[in-house]
Structure 1
Amino acid sequence: MLWQPIEDLPRDWQSLASSELPPLVTVWNEQADRLRQSGEFQIFNEKLRREIAIETGIIERLYTIDRGITRLLIEQGIEEALIPHGATDRPVKQVVSLIKDQEAAIAGLFDFVGGHRILSTSYIKQVHQLLTQSQDSTEALDPITGKIFPVLLIKGDWKRQPNNPLRPDGSVHEYCPPEQVVSEMDTLIAWHQQHCDQKIPPEIAAAWLHHRFTQIHPFQDGNGRVARCLASLVFIQARWFPLVLTRDDRAIYIMALEKADQGSLSSLIHLFAKSQKQAFLRSLGLSEQVLSETRRTQVIISSIAEKLKQNQSISIQQRCNKAETFASSLFSIASSRLQDVADEIKLSVQNFVDDAQVFTVPAPAGDSRSHYHRYQVVETAKQLGYFANLRNYHAWIQLVMNVKTSTTLLVSFHVLGHEYRGLLVCTACAYHRDEAEEGERNISDIQSLTDSPFQFSYADEEENLVQRFEPWLENVIMTGLEYWNKSI
C-alpha cells in the first residue's frame, strides 16, 4: 500500500457519531462526581489503567502473559513476584518494566489534561520516550535486500529511516517518509485542534487522531502504543475513560485500521465507542457499592446534595417511569418479532417434523411470572461482566423450539447494577433443556447472544432508541438460530 498524506474528517462525519453514547453519558455525568470522590472509584481507575498497560503490550506482541496472571496483576498491582516462571515469553523483569512504562504514560495523560495543556509534537515525543524507556532496539527493513535487521531505537524523536512493514503476502505497507514527518505531524496537530474547537464527538475525534497518526508512523517503533495514548487523551479530556483494547480485540482492531486505510473510519469509531460503553457500564455498576461500602461524611453529604439537586428538576421515580415506558415499547417490538420467527419456523418444519413445538412465552413487567429465569439472566450477566438487578424491574420473552432438541432463546429487560436510577438493559441468551429424571429438564450450555448488553435510559429519545434496538434484536435472533442449528 502506497503512502498518502493524511486527510481531515470526511464531510459526513456527523453520521459516524454513536447514538448509544450520548444518553449513557447523561446518566454517567449525573453520578460521576459522587463516584469520583469515593475510594472505590479510584481503585476502579487504577485497575483499568493496569489492564490497559498490560494488554497494549500484548497487542503489540512485545510479550505474552497468561490470562490468569493478567487478572492477578490487574487486581493486585504490577509486581515481579506475581508472575511465575513460564507465564510469559520474555524475562519477567523486562516485561514488568514495559508494563510500568505504559502505566506511567497513562497516568501522565491525566496530568496533561489536568494542566489544561494543548497537544503538541513535543508532548507526543515525551510520551514516546516514556513508553520506550525500557526498550532499546527494534527491527528495520532493508529496502534494497528486503531483509530485516535490528537497529537501535530512537527514543523521543522522529524516525530517520523508513519503517515500512513487510506483509505476509510479500507486499510492503508504506508509511510517511522520514523527510515528510515534520510537516505531516504539524498538519495532524492543527486539524486535531480544529476538531476540539468544533466539539467533534470524542469517539470520532479519537478514532481520527489514532488512525491518522498511525498513517504517519512518525517513530521508528512504538507508534501503536503512542496512537492509543493519543486516543485515550481525547477521551480523558471529555472526562470519559482511557481507551481499553485487549488481546481479544486485536483482530477486530487490525481489521478496523485496514478499513480506515481504505477510507472508512466507521469500524474504528464503532470499536472505540464500544470500549467506552463498556467502561461506562462498569463504572455505573459501582454506584451501589460506593454508597454501601464508603462511609465517609464527604461522600454521604455529596450523595444527599445530589439527591436534592435531582429532586429539584425531576425525581428518580419519574426517570425510572420514563425508562420503563421505553422498555415496554421495546418489549412489544421483541415479542412481535419473536412470534414472527416462531411462525416462520413452524411453517418451515410442519411437513417433515410431526411433533415440532415452537412458541413464544412473554412475561411483561408485573406479570406473575416475571421473576422466572433468574438463573439464566444472572449467568448471562456474569458472562458480560455486570450485575443484573431483577428486583426493581424485570420483563422477559422466550422463544421455545422443541424440534428434535429443546432450545430456548431468552430476551430479558432488567436493571443494571444494584441501584436503580433509570438505566435499564436488555440481554439475550440461548440454552438447552436436557431430559432428566421424573420428567424434569436441566438447563445447560447457557450462552450470551451478544458481546455487551443493550442499554437505554430516560435520557434516550424513543425514535433513536427503536432504530438502535431493531438491528440489535435481529443480530440476537440470527445468533440464536445459529446456536440452535448447531444442536440439531
Structure 2
Amino acid sequence: MEWQPIEDLPSSWQNLASAELPPLVTVWDEQAERLRTSGEFKTFMDRLRREIAIETGIIERLYTIDRGITRLLIEQGINEALIPHGATDRPVKQVVSLIQDQETAIEGLFDFVGGQRSLSTSYVKQLHQVLTQSQDSTEALVPQTGQIIRVRLIRGDWKQQPNNPMRLNGTIHEYCPPEQVASEMDRLIELHHHHRNQKIPPEIESAWLHHRFTQIHPFQDGNGRVARCLASLVFIQAGWFPLVLTRDDRAAYIAALEQADQGDLKGLINLFTKSQKQAFIRSLGLSEQVLSETRRTQVIIASIAEKLKQNKSESLQARNQKVEGFAANLFEITSNRLQNVANEIKLSVQGLVDEPEVFTVTASAGDNRSYYHRYQVVETAKQLGYFANLRNYHTWIQLVINVETSMTILLSFHVLGHEYRGLLVCSACAYYRDNTEEGEWNISEIQALTDSPFQFSYADDEGGNLIERFKQWLEDVILTGLEYWNKSL
C-alpha cells in the first residue's frame, strides 16, 4: 500500500457519531463530581491505568503476561514480587520497567489536561520519550538482504529511516517518508485544533487522530503506544476515560485500522465507543460504594437525607418513569421477537425430534415472579463487570429450548448500580439446565451473550434510534445464544 498524505475527516462525519454515548454521558455528568472526589473512584482509576499500561505492551508484543498475574498486578500494583518465574517471556525487571513507563505516560496525560495545555509536536515527542525510556533498541529490516537486525532506538525524535513493514502476503505497507514527517505532523496538529473548535465528538476525533498518526508513523518504534495515548488524551479532555484496549481486542483493533486505511473510520470509532461505554458503566456502579467509604455519622446522615430528598423529587420520579416507559416498549419488542424465534425453531425440528419443547416465559413490571433468576442475572453482571440492582426495577424474558439438551436464553431489564437515577440496562445470558436426583433444576455454564449490557436512560430519545439500536443488539444476542445451543448438540 502506497503512502498518502493524511486526510481530514469526511464531510459526512456527523453520521459517524455514536448514539449510545450522549445519553450515558448525561447520566455520568450528574454524578461525576461526587464520584471523582471519592477514594473508591481513585482506586478504580488507578486500576484502569494499570490495566492500560499492562495491556498496551501486550498488544505491541513487547512481552507476554498470563491473565491471572495481569489481574493481580491490576488489583495490587505493578510489583516485581507479584510476577512468578515463567509468567512472562521477558526478564521480570525489564517488563516492570516497560509497564511503569506506560503508566507514567498515562498519568502525564491527566497532568497535561489539568494544565490546560494544547497538543503540539513537542508534546508528542515528549510522550514518546517517556513511553520508550526503558527501551534501548528495536528491530529493523535490511532492504538488501531482508534480514531483521536490532538497532538503537531514537527516543523523542522523528525517524531518520523508512519504517515500512512487510505484510504476511509479502507486500510493503508504506508509511510517511522521513523527509515528510515534520510537515505531516504539523498538519495533523493543525487539523486536530480545528476539530476541537468544531466540537467534533470525542469518539470520532480520537479515532481520527489515532489513525492519521499511525498513517504518518513518525517514530522509529513505539507509534502504536503513542497513538493510543493521543486517543486517550482526546477522551480525557472531554472528561471521559482513557482508552482501554486489551489483548482480547487486538484482532478487532487491527481489522479496524486496516478498514480505516481504506477510508472507513467506523470500525475504529465503534471499538473506541465500546471501550468508553464499558468504562462509564463500571464507574457508575461505584455510586453506593462511595457513600460506604464515609464513616463520620454526620456525613452519613446528611448523605441519606440528600438521597431521600432526591428520591422524592418530581424530577427524579419523572426520569425513572420515562426510562421505565422505554423499558416496557423494549420488553414488548423482545417478547415478540423471542416468540417468533421459538416458533421458527419448533417448525425447523418438527419431525426430527420427539416432543420438542420450545417456549417463552415472561415477567413484566409488577409481576410477582420478577425476583426470579437473580442468580443468573447477578452472575452475568459479574462477568461484565457491573452491579445488577434488581431491587428497584426488574423484568425478564426467557426463551427455553428443550431439544436434545435443555438450554435457556434469559434477558433481564434492571438498574445499573446501587442507586436508581434513571439508568437501566438489559443483560443477556444463556445457560444449561439439568434435573438433579431430587427433581430440581441445576443451572450450569452461565455465559453472557454480549460483552456489555444494553444501556438506556431518561436522556435517550425514543423517537431517535433507541429502538433500532436495541433491535440490532437483540439480533446479536439471539445469534450468539443460538450458536451457544448449537455447540451443545
* TM-score over 0.5 for the pair: yes
Match of 1:122 in 2: 122
Identity, in percent, stands at 79
How far the C-alpha of 1:317 sits from its partner, in A, is: 2.2
Sort the Cα spacing of 1:299 and 1:170 in 2 relative to 1 into closer, same or farther, 3 A: farther
Match of 1:209 in 2: 209
How far the C-alpha of 1:61 sits from its partner, in A, is: 0.7
My pick for the range that moved more, 169-178 or 307-316, is 307-316
Q: AA paired with 1:475?
A: D
Match of 2:379 in 1: 379
DSSP-derived class of the 1:26 partner: helix
How far the C-alpha of 1:306 sits from its partner, in A, is: 7.6
Distance 1:325 1:484 in 2: 32
Match of 1:358 in 2: 358
Q: AA paired with 2:14?
A: Q
Q: AA paired with 1:164?
A: N
How far the C-alpha of 1:314 sits from its partner, in A, is: 5.1
My pick for the range that moved more, 104-113 or 399-408, is 399-408
DSSP-derived class of the 1:407 partner: strand
Match of 1:31 in 2: 31
Match of 1:276 in 2: 276
My pick for the range that moved more, 105-114 or 77-86, is 77-86
Q: Is the 8 A contact 1:181 1:218 kept in 2?
A: yes
My pick for the range that moved more, 265-274 or 65-74, is 65-74
Q: Is the 8 A contact 2:39 2:293 kept in 1?
A: no
Q: Is the 8 A contact 2:210 2:231 kept in 1?
A: yes
Deviations 1:145-201 (A, max 9, x none): 222221111000000000111222222111100001011101100110111000000
1:416 and 2:412 correspond: no
1:430 and 2:424 correspond: no
Match of 1:292 in 2: 292
Q: Normalising by the residue count of structure 2, what TM-score does the alignment of the two structures yield? A: 0.96
My pick for the range that moved more, 432-441 or 197-206, is 432-441
Distance 1:306 1:49 in 2: 32
Distance 1:259 1:310 in 2: 47
Matches within 5 A, 1:461-476: 461-463=461-463, 464-476=465-477
Distance 1:306 1:211 in 2: 46
Structure 1 residue runs of 4+, over 3 Å off? 295-314
DSSP-derived class of the 2:371 partner: coil
Matches within 5 A, 1:89-488: 89-295=89-295, 315-463=315-463, 464-488=465-489
Sort the Cα spacing of 1:364 and 1:74 in 2 relative to 1 into closer, same or farther, 3 A: same
Q: AA paired with 1:81?
A: A
Deviations 1:116-161 (A, max 9, x none): 1110000000000011111011111122322222111100000000
Q: Is the 8 A contact 1:363 1:397 kept in 2?
A: yes
Q: Is the 8 A contact 1:205 1:234 kept in 2?
A: yes
My pick for the range that moved more, 48-57 or 291-300, is 291-300
Q: Is the 8 A contact 1:39 1:294 kept in 2?
A: no
My pick for the range that moved more, 280-289 or 427-436, is 427-436
Q: Is the 8 A contact 2:311 2:317 kept in 1?
A: no
Sort the Cα spacing of 1:216 and 1:300 in 2 relative to 1 into closer, same or farther, 3 A: farther
Q: Is the 8 A contact 1:153 1:221 kept in 2?
A: yes
Sort the Cα spacing of 1:376 and 1:308 in 2 relative to 1 into closer, same or farther, 3 A: closer
Sort the Cα spacing of 1:393 and 1:55 in 2 relative to 1 into closer, same or farther, 3 A: same
Q: AA paired with 1:231?
A: A
Sort the Cα spacing of 1:91 and 1:352 in 2 relative to 1 into closer, same or farther, 3 A: closer
DSSP-derived class of the 1:420 partner: coil
My pick for the range that moved more, 207-216 or 342-351, is 342-351
My pick for the range that moved more, 305-314 or 110-119, is 305-314
Q: AA paired with 1:417?
A: G
Sort the Cα spacing of 1:298 and 1:164 in 2 relative to 1 into closer, same or farther, 3 A: farther
How far the C-alpha of 1:255 sits from its partner, in A, is: 0.8
Q: Which runs of 5+ in 2 are unaligned?
A: none
Q: Which runs of 5+ in 1 are unaligned?
A: none
Q: Is the 8 A contact 1:210 1:230 kept in 2?
A: yes
Sort the Cα spacing of 1:301 and 1:50 in 2 relative to 1 into closer, same or farther, 3 A: farther
Q: Is the 8 A contact 2:63 2:95 kept in 1?
A: yes
Distance 1:468 1:68 in 2: 35
Q: AA paired with 1:19?
A: A
How far the C-alpha of 1:315 sits from its partner, in A, is: 2.8
Q: Is the 8 A contact 1:50 1:73 kept in 2?
A: yes
Distance 1:238 1:415 in 2: 26
Equivalent pairs counted in the alignment come to 488
Sort the Cα spacing of 1:301 and 1:236 in 2 relative to 1 into closer, same or farther, 3 A: farther
Distance 1:92 1:220 in 2: 25
Distance 2:402 2:29 in 1: 46
Distance 1:452 1:59 in 2: 21
Sort the Cα spacing of 1:377 and 1:304 in 2 relative to 1 into closer, same or farther, 3 A: closer
How far the C-alpha of 1:279 sits from its partner, in A, is: 0.4
Q: Is the 8 A contact 1:38 1:294 kept in 2?
A: no
Distance 2:232 2:22 in 1: 18
Q: Is the 8 A contact 1:113 1:237 kept in 2?
A: yes
How far the C-alpha of 1:18 sits from its partner, in A, is: 0.7
CA-atom RMSD in angstroms: 1.9
Q: AA paired with 1:117?
A: R
Distance 1:30 1:282 in 2: 16
Q: AA paired with 1:428?
A: A
Q: AA paired with 2:155?
A: K
Distance 1:487 1:77 in 2: 40
Match of 2:76 in 1: 76
Deviations 1:43-67 (A, max 9, x none): 1111111111111111111111121
